[in-house]
Amino acid sequence: MSNPAVFVPHFHWDREWYEPFQVFRHRLVTALDTVLETAETDPDFRFTVDGQMAAVEDYLEMRPENRDRVAALVREGRLAVGPWLILLDEFLCSGETIVRNLQMGWAAAERLGGAMPIGYLPDMFGHVAQMPQILARAGIEHAALWRGVPGTVDGHAFRWRAPDGSEVRTEFLFDGYDNGLDVLLVPDRIRSALAEYAEMTAGRWGGDPVLAMSGTDHNAPDPRLADWLRKASGGERPITVATLDEYVRKHVRDDVTAVVTGELRSHVRGNILPGVLSVRLGLKQRMAAAERTVDHAERMNALWSGRDDANFLALAWHKIIESTAHDSVVGSGTDETCDQVAARLAEAAQTARAVRDAALAEPAAGVPGDAYLVANPLPSPRTALVEVDVVAAPDGGTLVATTADGAAHPVQLVSQAPTVLSDERLDASQLERVLRRIHRRELFGLLINGYELTPNSLVFHLAEVPEGSFDLMTLRGEVAAAAAAHPGEWQVRTLAQARATALVAVPVPAAGLAAFRVGTGDMPAAPALRGATATADSLSNGLVEVAVAADGTLDVTGVDGTVLSGVGRLVDGGDRGDSYNYAPPAHDVLVSEPARVAVELLETGPLRARLRVTRVYEWPEALADGDRDRRGGRTVPTPVDMLVEVRAGEPFVRVSTSFLNRSADHRLRLHVPLPLPVTTSASAGQFAVTERGLTAEGGWGEYPLPTFPASTFVAAGPATVLLDHSAEYELVDDGSALAVTLLRAIGSISVNIHPLRDEPAASEIPAPGAQDLGMRIENRFAVLPWASGWQGANAVALAEEFRGDCLVTRGTAPGGAPLPPDTAGLHVDGRDVHVSGIRRITDPEHGPGTELRLTAMRDTATAVRVTGAFTEATTVDLLGRPLAPEPVRDGLELDLGPWEIRTVVLR
């Protein structure tokens, strides 16, 4: 008998793409109406809702009356929903976001009757290395996917192994998630068409059933599908209609021997569209900002607030996760779609910021109003460099910060604010108009500290923290009497207290709080931090040295003597591609040498030293008119500012680039030349550090450019670059330099004829917003030289310090009171251990707790010690289900295996 066939009716639903979300949702409602009617009419019909609960949630928001109908089909096993909330791009969000996506999708599916226990990942543009561990630690044993599988897999299934050794059996959709549609084109020929397809792909199936995924983008299956298949079934090839879950559980063998370890980014059986990593830079930056803000909000809420803001945090996470969809954050949609994604991410960050600030306001209520509170979001102690507004020192005075223990800490004056805010002359009859500016005590954003009223003169003295009381009604009466007694011209002056912007170095405990006050005093004799210094063209802090070369690039020397020369070289080239794939014009013009270079000394230390390097480039304005294979002859002068900064105590140099983009159809990359060529690079993100070579595997219709994703850092040889947001990088010049993409500007979602891709990725729809014309393009990163690479440099910890600035807020208690003592939160001590989340949880059975998620970011085991205000600890899976209690003896001791993700709940 021939192989049986299993048809899986489904659709793939891009929530937003070449149309915005609400337009696609209108189609979604029609499609799921059809699915429900078909399922209720035909008991043989099954349907798989694309593995993402967002489609179900979006439907039920418009059709709430159908919730019971949906739930009934889910409980019967005829409608497979979940496990994800949304089908995400795995490389353009954090690992924690992937976990929250799975958690929220699973919970939503459970409320309807149960989640499909399959890691269905049909259309992602490649897959992260730790996905098998994420699935396995949620109790999911199977996955199904298409893109990125290497050429070593010659069957229809393999065992996918994460770096820690976790495995999931994975169904390889080698012909895509719509391979059954061609068989269904002519209903009367299904039997013969199926026979032809089975014969053509026999080498893949062996003796297993033929899987026919019967669905495509944005369309419900024909209601007659099950009837067609009943008629075609029988004879030598029986046909079954099933959900994807039923196919995996009932129709396939589990004794798969082929093993693939790590990330899936091969082009051999499908396009992975790597250009999405670098298009629409703003979306990548907004994603990172939103993730960072909600992470900090959760930590502050869990550690320092008595308020349960779980609903606000869930809303922020939901909006972030919605935005991770593989046609959302990637930027491959129309301009209006991308505008909506940007707005959603902004709303997520705003929601999280409100929770974060409210949480900090609680301990700030115990800090005097003339002092500041610093909160450390990282579970390790650090010295925070914070910028605050303070009362300026009198002439000849020195500003010094003091902490609760009485210790003095250095202060660096950054700028001084003007004291005269207004100086007006007006008739006495107009004085009442001046008083209307006062709102209770507030004037011009400050508070009235006092006033001087003399004949024909009124002087207001303003302060941020006023002394004594103020009565507006008394002032009104006094001014009215004085105006009547002294008619004619009056002078009204508004003077602010002399204030300055100061940089302060404050020691803060692990995940803890510290308060400080700035005033005049004696500079501490021996600062805890070695100072930063600057000359007209160099910076140093004793750990890293920077010299500006004549061409505006940097020579960076690390604490171990490692020298990186030419750092910051900019190379601009044309791009005739689209949002999915970069493509250089056949006759490209590369611009790498500036026309002019200027260096400006901004700050000389002792806490922070800064230079600004301005390089002016002549970049072509666009591709040539009528010839996309040439860059045009007209150029535009483009100044690129590079802010170069070293801080006391940091072994890396911070670099920020900024320019106003006036050119279209181009790609700009920043180069970090290496002392010697290398053959491998490594980048961190999604709970792993992934090593890659100089090439990528090809074999499909897409040229395998070796451009790769990085999230928190990328390293090559002795150079490690710490990142502010997800980025695209490549080893160039035969491994002699690391190139990080700063901007890729294009004008179309897809182009029909692409030199590096055989088939269109979508329709050729204009996307002028993806050119970023007239936009200020800013990138922030740091360069860390270390001879032994990222592990020797402690890059895992330093990347978190670079990204995770301490939070600072002014105290709200009466000024002048003593400072509260420092307070520690959770302290996690372990080399190369990444803490991706600290949050408050509530378990109906076990009560409230604090959830802590850790990952060993190394290929050897590591010991971790956790201390804080807890007496019990339980290891849980990624869905929060208890696994095993952990002994707590003056803290929690954990042994993490290589690359292990561990979640514990502390009580």
Per-residue HEC secondary structure of 462-477 comes to EECCCCCCCCHHHHHH
DSSP state of 797: H
Q: Is the pLDDT of residue 707 over 90?
A: yes
What percentage of the chain carries pLDDT values higher than 90?
94
Q: Summarize the confidence of residues 454-460 as an average pLDDT.
A: 96
Kindly report the average pLDDT of the chain as a whole number.
Answer: 96
747-751-756-758 Cα dihedral, nearest 10 degrees: 170
Q: Summarize the confidence of residues 25-54 as an average pLDDT.
A: 97
With bands split at pLDDT 50, 70 and 90, how would you rate the model's confidence at 522? confident
Tokens coding 647: 């801080």
3-class state of residue 185 by DSSP: coil
In tens, the pLDDT along 8-20 reads 999 999 999 999 9
* 10 within 8 A of 50, measured Cβ to Cβ: yes
**What is the Cα–Cα distance from 378 to 804, expressed in whole angstroms?**
7
With bands split at pLDDT 50, 70 and 90, how would you rate the model's confidence at 234? confident
Q: Summarize the confidence of residues 309-332 as an average pLDDT.
A: 97
Q: Is the pLDDT of residue 524 over 70?
A: no
* 3 within 8 A of 209, measured Cβ to Cβ: yes
**What is the Cα–Cα distance from 691 to 676, expressed in whole angstroms?**
18
Range from 232-241, 534-543, 830-839 carrying the lowest mean pLDDT: 232-241
Q: Summarize the confidence of residues 340-358 as an average pLDDT.
A: 98
Q: Summarize the confidence of residues 92-103 as an average pLDDT.
A: 98
In tens, the pLDDT along 187-231 reads 999 999 999 999 999 999 998 999 999 999 999 999 999 999 999
What percentage of the chain carries pLDDT values higher than 70?
99
Q: Summarize the confidence of residues 345-358 as an average pLDDT.
A: 98
Q: Summarize the confidence of residues 165-182 as an average pLDDT.
A: 96
What confidence score (pLDDT) does residue 529 get? 57
In tens, the pLDDT along 71-96 reads 999 999 999 999 999 999 999 999 99
Buried b (16+ CB within 10 A) or exposed e, 224-245: ebbebbeebbeeebebbbbbbb
Neighbours of 551 (CB within 10 A): 14
Unique residue bearing structure tokens 């983008």: 217
Contacts of 806 (CB under 8 A, 6+ apart): 374, 375, 376, 377, 382, 384, 386, 506, 508
Buried b (16+ CB within 10 A) or exposed e, 370-393: bbbbbbbbbbbbbbbbbebebbbb
Find, among 724, 651, 730, the residue nearest to 694 by Cα. Answer: 730
Neighbours of 650 (CB within 10 A): 22
Tokens coding 566: 């030419």
In tens, the pLDDT along 360-399 reads 999 999 999 999 999 999 999 999 999 999 988 887 788 9
Beta strand extents in 248-327 (DSSP E only) = 259-261
What confidence score (pLDDT) does residue 1 get? 64
**What is the Cα–Cα distance from 67 to 81, expressed in whole angstroms?**
13
**What is the Cα–Cα distance from 411 to 502, expressed in whole angstroms?**
6
Distance of CA 697 to the CA centre of its chain: 27
Q: Summarize the confidence of residues 532-558 as an average pLDDT.
A: 98
Three-class secondary structure assignment of 113-138:
CCCCCEEEECCCCCECCCHHHHHHCC
Please list the alpha-helical segments (H only) found in 464-527: 472-485
What confidence score (pLDDT) does residue 255 get? 86
- CA distances to 3, 6, 195 from 236, in Å: 8, 14, 10
DSSP state of 787: T
CA angle 657, 662, 668 (to 5 degrees): 45
Q: Is the pLDDT of residue 626 over 60?
A: yes
Q: Is the pLDDT of residue 523 over 90?
A: no
3-class state of residue 106 by DSSP: helix
What confidence score (pLDDT) does residue 393 get? 87
**What is the Cα–Cα distance from 262 to 778, expressed in whole angstroms?**
32
What confidence score (pLDDT) does residue 530 get? 72
In tens, the pLDDT along 154-170 reads 999 999 999 999 999 99
In tens, the pLDDT along 235-251 reads 789 999 999 999 999 98
How many CA atoms within 13 Å lie on the side-chain side of 619?
26
CA angle 641, 644, 650 (to 5 degrees): 155
**What is the Cα–Cα distance from 731 to 737, expressed in whole angstroms?**
6
Unique residue bearing structure tokens 């992602």: 124
What confidence score (pLDDT) does residue 328 get? 97
SS3 content of the chain, % helix, strand, coil (to 5): 25, 35, 40
Q: Is the pLDDT of residue 528 over 60?
A: no
